[in-house]
Structure 1
Amino acid sequence: MAAKEGNHMNVRIIRTMTLALCMSILLAGCWDTKDINKQYLPVVMGVGKGKSEKYRVILQIPNALGKTQILDKEAKSISKAIDLIRTDSEKSIELVHLRLLLIDREIAQQGIGNIINFAVRANDISIKGLVGIVDGNFEKTLYHQISPTPEISSYDFFSEEAGWTPNQSIVRIWEAYQGQKSYSEDMAVPMLKNGDKTLFTFKGTAVMREDRMVGTLNEDETLLFNLFKGKYTGGTIEVAQNTSVLIENAEIKHHTKWSEKGPSIQTDVLLNVVVLESPEGKANALIEKEMLEQLSRRFEETVKKIHFLKSDVLGIGLIFRPQLTEENLKEWKSNWFLKLEQKINVRINVLNEIYFKENEPAHLNQGRLLK
């Protein structure tokens, strides 16, 4: 009898110890958690040239009131500057919510490789974060604030669901890392400065050769760049005075050839557009003609400019990649791209059925407008 009671006692002890052990394991996962009120969560990091050190790092931290707190330090390395910010901060600095990495133009012209490598290696920075170049006063742009608007984020200016349009380029940290090491493509980085009534004003696109900025594309040239890359949603083209069209969809086909002279590519671009605004009585045929002439000229000028900069920002090497040997791939940017012959043929189609002002009776137009 005593033996049975002893066995029961041992079982109860074992069960109690097992339960306590399980509870301690579960609680262990909570011991190192941090109170959200004890953390700073920056959404924007600016990296510029310091006055006395190599780098100046500025962090933007939004709060619940829609205002932005700025933390700022200089150091010989980015990680050390962030460490100095952490040292002087009354809260911990967590970079897990960093959405935008802004780099001063002066540094971009010298090379952004170290900055992108740091962002990729940092365990707490998401490689999905966006990259931009500040073309203007770096400090003024990073310290710039507008009226408190909690629902608006700096990220929205790059979001395809919010403020982004095809007149702006867009590149993420992982794409920048890939682009600076790619044999077959260079990257395009959006350029911006502080706005007057908005947070940012876009200045066009920085054309990179590997990790260095070598030139720029304006907003119209950026639209053509995005169109070539298939990113045209929401793109509006001003054809002539008082005439503008919206790109409804685009069909882009590439025809490649490799001869003794080197590579050549012909790109056929068919644009289906909707007329947004035009003088009364202006025929669709005339709009198509004007748009064809204008876009053909712009594409030709943009392609010449890109070739002059010796940057394969359009990613032609990716199109040729299946035809390239390993040796030719390594020599693409330094040799074959410089010999590339490139031509772009444009065709325009105005979608009449959406342009109801021209097709419907006047009383129907009036009724629809009144709605």
Structure 2
Amino acid sequence: MKSKELPSIALLAITDENIEKMFSSIDEKLDAHATSVIDYFYKGADWAPEITTSRVWEVYRSLFSYTKDIAVLVVNAGKDTLLSFEGSAVLKNGKIIEQISPSENQFVNLFQKLRAKGKVESLGYASIMVENSSLRIKPSKKAGELMVASDLSLKIDVMEKNEDTTNDQIQRDLENLIEKRFYNLFEQAQKNKTDIFGFGQHFRNQIPYDELKNWREDYYPKLKVNFQVHVKME
């Protein structure tokens, strides 16, 4: 198939199942709506904000990018649903380096300016739903050191909580939980030299062009990120 035969909206997903069995399972579950498979990806933001979409042209472009890697959806045949979202495979130069979980994949979505609306989180003593989110990214370079300040703002609705639980406790613990998750994922990404958050894109004008090819090896492992979460109650 030639590239011009692929529509610009064509999506790419990965499965570790037998592809024929997977398609057979999908056929058995399909109803009269031929768009069911596409709806799973494009309507995911309404009911599963951790689901991402990767277009074929985006994956192809990542093969030649010095400063950004890409996460591609991993799906298997679902038992009760059409498909089951297993997380995302992180690709660097076209090779799968690691697989991240659905909750980790949501961080990738956030840095792509996608909202976390609809995300349900359990703290053990309380359940909350994210009503809205926004992320501010501010890169800087001081004395040769690259830094990124990222502020994630969340508006949440408390669905359930224990009687003795205060809103301040929920707010504080949720902020700490999300920050810890991010730093664990970022630490692993730096170790693998995979820039799944696209931080390198913010320094393209601050690093000489002929040095951009060294982003993953020389600059990215030394990058400092200050990630802070700010939670507000609805």
Task: Tell whether the structures are fold-level matches, with TM greater than 0.5.
Answer: yes
**Matched AA of 1:279:** N
Equivalent of 2:31 in 131, 149, 152: 149
Q: How many angstroms apart in 1 are the aligned matches of 2:30 and 2:151? A: 47
Q: 1:164: Cα distance to partner?
A: 6.0
Show the counterpart of 1:122: 3
Would you say the 8 A contact 2:125–2:165 is kept in 1? no
The CA deviation at 1:221 is 0.6
Asked whether the equivalents of residues 46 and 118 of structure 2 are also in contact (C-alpha less than 8 Å), the reply is no
Map 1:1-371 → 2, pairs under 5 A? 79=1, 121-145=2-26, 146-151=28-33, 153-160=36-43, 165-241=48-124, 243-260=126-143, 262-280=145-163, 282-351=165-234
- Find the residue that maps to 2:205 and give its secondary structure: helix
TM-score by length of 1: 0.58
Equivalents in 2 of 1:125, 1:256: separation in Å?
Answer: 36
d(CA) in 1 for partners of 2:64, 2:209: 15
Residues 47 and 118 of structure 2 are in contact (CA less than 8 Å); yes or no, is this contact kept in structure 1? no
Q: CA deviation at 1:184?
A: 1.6
Distance of 2:87 and 2:228 partners within structure 1? 24
Q: In the alignment, residue 60 of structure 2 is paired with which amino acid?
A: Y
Measure, in 2, the Cα distance between the counterparts of 1:348 and 1:331: 37
Q: Structure 2 regions of 5+ residues with no counterpart?
A: none
Q: Which amino acid aligns with 1:137?
A: N
AA partner of residue 124 (structure 1): E
Partner of 1:322, secondary structure, is: coil
Letter in 1 for 2:38: Y
What is the distance in 1 between the residues matched to 2:133 and 2:10? 28
Q: Identity over the aligned pairs, expressed in percent?
A: 25
CA shift, 1:223, in A, is 1.6
Asked if structure 2 preserves the Cα contact closer than 8 Å seen for 1:156 and 1:162, the reply is no
RMSD of Structure 2 on Structure 1 (CA): 2.2
Please tell me whether the aligned partners of residues 252 and 268 of structure 1 are also in contact (alpha carbons under 8 angstroms). Answer: yes
Report runs of 4+ in structure 1 exceeding 4 Å deviation: 161-164
CA apart distance, 1:324: 2.2
Q: RCO (CA 8 Å, sep 6+): is it higher in 1 or 2?
A: 2
**Kept in 2: contact 1:267–1:345 (CA 8 A):** yes
Q: Distance in 2 between matches of 1:323 and 1:176?
A: 25
Change (3 A) 1:161 1:142: closer
SS at match of 1:123: helix
Say how many residue pairs are matched: 232
Match of 1:59 in 2: none
Structure 1 residue ranges without an equivalent (≥5): 1-78, 80-120, 352-371
Q: Which moved more, 1:257-266 or 1:186-195?
A: 257-266
Partner letter of residue 123 of structure 1?
Answer: K
Task: Report the secondary structure of 1:294's partner residue.
Answer: helix
Tell me the equivalent position of 1:99.
Answer: none
CA distance in 1, matches of 2:233, 2:45: 27
